[in-house]
Amino acid sequence: MTDLSVNLNKIALLRNSRGGNFPDVIEHAKSCIRAGCQGITLHPRPDQRHVRPADACGIAELLKDKPSIELNLEGNPFAEAEDDYPGFINLVLQCIPDQCTLVPDSRQQLTSDHGFDLKTEGERLTPLVDQLHGLGVRVSLFMDPEPEQIELAAKIGADRIELYTGPFAEAYADSLEAAAPIFLRHTAAANCAFELGLGVNAGHDLNLQNLQLYRQLPHLAEVSIGHALIVDAITMGLEQTVHAYLAVLET
């Protein structure tokens, strides 16, 4: 079965629009856990428009006595300290998540929209991967479905890749026929990763509809889903929505 890690960034975005602590990110994490998710994903950015460092530390504390639930901390590993953002690696040192998904997003990006180019960034990433391994943290790299790049991910010591599914989701919204060739590229990438000893995660714009196809990806260990899941929760309720996503992943 493929694990579901629920990204709570949009809960924090709603909270931040009014100040205070409503809705409460930690309470919503508890709801997701009650509903049966296998992980919680957070992507704290330097501008703190979504989850903030305190949220990450709070979720890490919550999960200390829940060893079956993984904390996946996403972010740009090169993001430095500014104001009350401690820098991504320093935040990891505070939280010690189960998994770090390293993402090449910049401050100017509205959301993550491409994977690493390890031909240019691999040498710079390698010591950070080693540092995270020294903390006992699993390292996943956000990647496009390009076998040559995936081979480089294995060479620099990553444990997993997270395939960027944005283009697949966009094509699926048009038609199954449009999505099929992209899914085949993802299948080849997943098989390549598996042969290299890498685990396979996926995420970005996955939803209850396109998961009907994407859940069939070979070797798929985990999906990280936030935006669509939280939107569905507006009408379905959060725990029922998590149940619905788990049901798709279990079929």
> Which residue of the set 28, 50, 186, 204 is catalytic?
204
Tell me whether residue 28 is exposed, middle or buried, using C-beta atoms within 10 angstroms of its C-beta: 0 to 12, 13 to 18, 19 or more.
buried
> Which residue of the set 28, 43, 50, 186 is catalytic?
43
> Which residue of the set 70, 74, 162, 222 is catalytic?
74
Alpha helices (runs of H) in 63-165, residue ranges in sequence order: 88-95, 118-134, 147-155
Active-site residue flag, 204: yes
Active-site residue flag, 43: yes
SS3 96: coil
Cα 208 to chain centroid distance, Å, stands at 17
The helix (run of H) or strand (run of E) holding residue 240 is helix 238-250
Active-site residue flag, 74: yes
The two counts, helices (H) then strands (E), for the chain are 11, 8
Which residues are catalytic, by number?
43, 74, 204
